[in-house]
Amino acid sequence: MHRLFVALRPPAPIRDLLIDAMDGVDGARWQDEDQLHITLRFIGEVDSRTAEDAATALSAIRAALPPLRIAGCGTFETKGRPNALWAGIAPRDPLAALHKKIDRALIAIGLEPEHRAYVPHITLARLAGSAGPVDAFLARHAALTSPDFAATHMTLYESHLGHGGASYEPVARYPLTGS
């Protein structure tokens, strides 16, 4: 089985900016530099044939993105309790459109559609129930921003879960050109 997702990898200066912001929440499991990405579509666990079909379907996608930038911070919650801290990405609409193209391509090969609302972001930390309050972090980084950066390709990654968290292996790269 292969645990797959499609993502954009921000350039090193943007990753460095995010690493510098990661502090101030007791018990947060901060992401490593090599884990920082903008998920376009989580695929999940699939067999080898479906993984190959997904790779082929992704190769047919044509899209170009405008320059992107970091735009503030937020949380994802479960039952009113924060479970992740993230940095937002702007502009949202072009990323949402690319997410829809990817979703349609994967549905066409028999995968389930994405059911969650798409929020372009980079996960900064995972939060267990014992993690400290996040309000001060969110207030401090509410206006977090970055210089514009280009997204010239998207990558199909395989996620390997281990004791130290997930590691991500690039499987295929797809240029972002055309419409």
Q: Evaluate whether 120 touches 76 at the Cβ level (below 8 Å).
A: no
Task: Write out pLDDT tens, residues 12-27.
Answer: 999 999 999 999 999 9
Mean residue pLDDT of the chain comes to 94
pLDDT confidence of 178, banded at 50, 70, 90? low
Evaluate if residue 179 carries a pLDDT over 70.
no
Span 131-150, mean pLDDT? 94
Q: Phi and psi dihedrals of 49, rounded to 5?
A: -65, -45
User: pLDDT tens digits for 84-131?
Assistant: 999 999 999 999 999 999 999 999 999 999 998 999 999 999 998 878
Model-level pTM? 0.93
Strands 153-162 and 165-175: antiparallel
Q: State the Cα–Cα distance between residues 160 and 61, nearest whole angstrom.
A: 26
Residue 18 carries which side chain, given as an amino acid letter? Answer: L
Q: Given this model, what pLDDT does residue 147 score?
A: 97
Task: Residue 111: name the closest of 41, 169, 50 by CA.
Answer: 50
In angstroms, the CA 30 to CA 32 distance is 7
Residue 121 appears among annotated catalytic residues: yes
- Spatial distance between the Cα atoms of 98 and 151, rounded to a whole number of angstroms: 12
In which band, very low, low, confident or very high, does the pLDDT at 63 lie, cut at 50, 70 and 90? Answer: very high
- Which candidate in 121, 141, 153, 163 is catalytic? 121
